[in-house]
A = this chain, B = another copy of it.
């Protein structure tokens, strides 16, 4: 199954000026699509940091989604940094320049045209009805940071990342984590295709533990659920 990483680029998130909305949105959508998210990182608008993170994620995951830093101001450093991640320069792309000039007219100055300067070798994805294509570089899809724009652009290309969604089963128990730990370890070992999580909810009265079981192999998931359900039942 395809794997993915999310790279949120923006001082404004790290400094708490804005609460990140794009990470939670992408986490939810990737889950629905059946694309396995392996990493989410929030980094500052620093070219070397962006380049290093994008290079590492591009090598380790099937898909990388970046958000932020693609506007016309001095703090928009994502496109040249992604170029640097792959050892290439940026060049002004004629199709993007044409869109900007048509949309902005006389207001299309040098700052605006920085938005048309993309890594050499980048591809444009024109999926859907978008006015402006999505810029991608190898396996890196480069999204804007403005949440409404990100959502619009993501939905236009989401079909490219669709796989088989994971099925999740949830079991609750009033037994404590130490009491059920042995059974969970045994189940995790017996059904390696099933991911088992254990989450204590001390705030409930009485306290409970939520056990989640997830997988794409139906028969193994069901066998594992049956085993765990019996093992954590009150009478066990």
Contact = CB atoms under 8 A, between A and B. Distances in A.
A74 B184 contact: yes
A28 B143 CA distance: 25
Majority secondary structure, A binding face: mixed
Contacts of A176: 107
A178 B104 contact: yes
A41 B44 contact: no
Interface string A37-54: 111111110000000000
A31 B12 contact: no
A2 to B, nearest CB: 14
A214 B14 CA distance: 13
Interface string A158-184: 000000001010000000111111101
A14 B42 contact: no
B42 A40 contact: yes
Contacts of A13: 27, 40
A14 B37 contact: yes
Nearest to A68: B199
A178 B111 contact: yes
A44 B38 contact: yes
B15 A185 contact: no
A16 B24 CA distance: 8
A32 B195 CA distance: 38
Contact of A73 (B11, B38, B177, B203): B177
Contacts of A20: 24
A214 B74 contact: no
A177 B72 contact: yes
